[in-house]
Amino acid sequence: MEEKYKQYEKTIKKKHSFAWTPKYASEFSTRLSAKEFIAIAEKTFKDLGWDIVYQDDKSIEAKRSEKSLGTERWTEGITATFDYGKIQVKSVTLGNEMWDVGKNSKRVQLFIYAFQEIEKSFDREELQNLVNEKETVNNWDDYVVPDSLPKPKEIREPKFYIHIVGCSILSILIAFLLAKVSISGFYIIGLFEFLVGFAIGFTFKYLIKFSNFTNYDKLHYVILGTIGLTYLLNQYFQYEIILYENNYDRIGFFEFLKIKFEQGLTIKTLNTGWIGLVIHWILQLVITYYVTVMAVIRNLTKYQLDRVQPEVVDFAFYHFVKDKTEDQIRKELALKGWTETQNQDEVFEAIGALQTTQDVNRMQ
């Protein structure tokens, strides 16, 4: 961020927001066109050092990051929208805080100040040049079509069964460990669900790499099956361990679940009954599912992008921008040596991964 903006930020009078998701919004009038607004707003975000995650004809979004405990994380999401002579600016807290300590109001007021300062620095001709430069970038007019492309990598047959086998083994291992922890009384609600989701997502990273299988719709079914099997086996292993360690007479597994349901969930000395147990089971599934899905999507998109050389992705995307059909792009790829259908499909998957990455970055 430029020094003048840092100095102005110190003078901003904060307005605090209290909510489940704190936010702050404001608007101001403008005589700019939509194209001029987008061009200046983009420059504003860049000058403020905020990461642009999305833009269209009338709206642009960015996220502000700060370093905490050695790692950077996004703290606020800022959206500026053009609305027929008015510009609406909104900032939303991205963390778990219910009190924003006035940060959202600071982001909005700082953006408005910086935007207006940048707007004043351009005359009409300079502003038009800025718009033209942006349109050139958006239309890929400066892109030089290469004479050749890197050769495609050796074709690897996708192997779906690797996910089935790998996740089945993983479910057994995690379920057994959870059962031991649960019986010992060291189970921490929330933490272990997160760890299970992280472990499943981390395993998918390598299963995707070894299998070369990237069909998310089918992988999603594997995710659901893995989570369901993990927690079902967790109950079964608890049943077997309790009978074995206490030398109890054997009862049926469903009878064990019935007894557990009747006793309910006890947290320290508080018995929450069957309602608490059901809520805990639901939380297990929901938290683990969310953490797993986000991890799998990140690992999947990274693999899809790494699998194809950037020059090839740029080449195909350029032709998309120029409104060519998929068949026409396949022909262009074939002319550059990418003749195999699977190689071409992987190029299109990489382009789709770019869109997925943008969608994930926009999430609040």
| Residue extents of the structural domains in the chain | 3-138, 161-362
> Is residue 194 a contact partner of residue 287, using CB atoms and an 8 Å limit?
yes
Q: What is the pLDDT of residues 206-239, one digit of tens each?
A: 999 999 999 999 999 999 999 999 999 999 999 8
Q: What is the mean pLDDT of residues 51-73?
A: 87
332: left (phi over 0), alpha (psi -120 to 50) or beta: alpha
Residue 187 has what pLDDT? 77
Please check the confidence at residue 264 and state whether its pLDDT lies above 80: no
359: left (phi over 0), alpha (psi -120 to 50) or beta: alpha
340: Cα separation from own chain's centroid: 31
- What amino acid is encoded at 333 in this protein? L
Residues sharing a CB contact under 8 Å with residue 236, sequence separation 6 or more, in sequence order? 175, 253
Please check the confidence at residue 357 and state whether its pLDDT lies above 70: yes
Distance CA 25, CA 13 (A): 15
- What amino acid is encoded at 224 in this protein? L
- Residue 260's pLDDT band (cuts 50, 70, 90): confident
Distance CA 239, CA 234 (A): 9
Residue 78 has what pLDDT? 93
Residue 85 has what pLDDT? 85
Q: What is the pLDDT of residues 15-45, one digit of tens each?
A: 888 888 899 999 999 899 999 999 999 999 9
Residue 364 has what pLDDT? 62
Give pairs for 81-88: CB < 8 Å, separation 24+: 82/30, 82/32, 82/34, 82/37, 82/38, 82/58, 83/27, 83/58, 85/29, 85/30, 85/31, 86/27, 86/28, 86/29, 86/30, 87/27, 87/28, 87/29, 87/30, 87/37, 87/115, 88/25, 88/26, 88/27
Superfamily of domain 3-138 in the CATH hierarchy = Kinase associated domain 1, KA1 (3.30.310.80)
- When mean pLDDT is compared across 1-15, 25-39, 297-311, the lowest value belongs to 1-15
User: Does pTM surpass 0.85?
Assistant: no
> Is residue 155 a contact partner of residue 81, using CB atoms and an 8 Å limit?
no
Residue 255 has what pLDDT? 85
Q: What is the mean pLDDT of the chain?
A: 90
How distant, in Å, are the alpha carbons of 157, 193, 196, 277 from that of 241?
Answer: 42, 21, 20, 20
Residue found under tokens 């999947």: 300
